Amino acid sequence: MQRLVNVIALLSGLTSLAVIGGSAYVYVNMETWQSEAKERLTDLVTGAITDSLPKLLDESLPELPELPTKTGPALPF
């Protein structure tokens, strides 16, 4: 019976250490992960805007009428 209690206590202690260690690891690396995520998001947004901007500009500009190829006579003064 004592052995079972010791095994349960050992497993409980290891679980607590794993939770504390994992939390400390996340806390220490949180800033690095955030900055990497910001850089990736900035790259994605910049790429999306760069790819879609020429198409949006082409669609928003009106069609120009065809320019005349011949001119009329000079106007009198």
Query: Which pLDDT does position 64 carry in this prediction?
Result: 77
Query: Which pLDDT does position 36 carry in this prediction?
Result: 97
Which two three-digit tokens encode residue 19?
């939770």
27 Ramachandran zone, left/alpha/beta (phi>0; psi -120 to 50):
alpha
Query: Which pLDDT does position 57 carry in this prediction?
Result: 79
Query: Which pLDDT does position 71 carry in this prediction?
Result: 82
**Within the chain, which residues score under 70 in pLDDT?**
none
Return the closest-CA partner of residue 22 out of 32, 14, 12, 31: 14
Ordered by start, the domain boundaries in the chain are 7-49
Report d(CA 73, CA 61) in Å as an integer: 33
- Cα 20-24-29 angle, rounded to 5 deg: 155
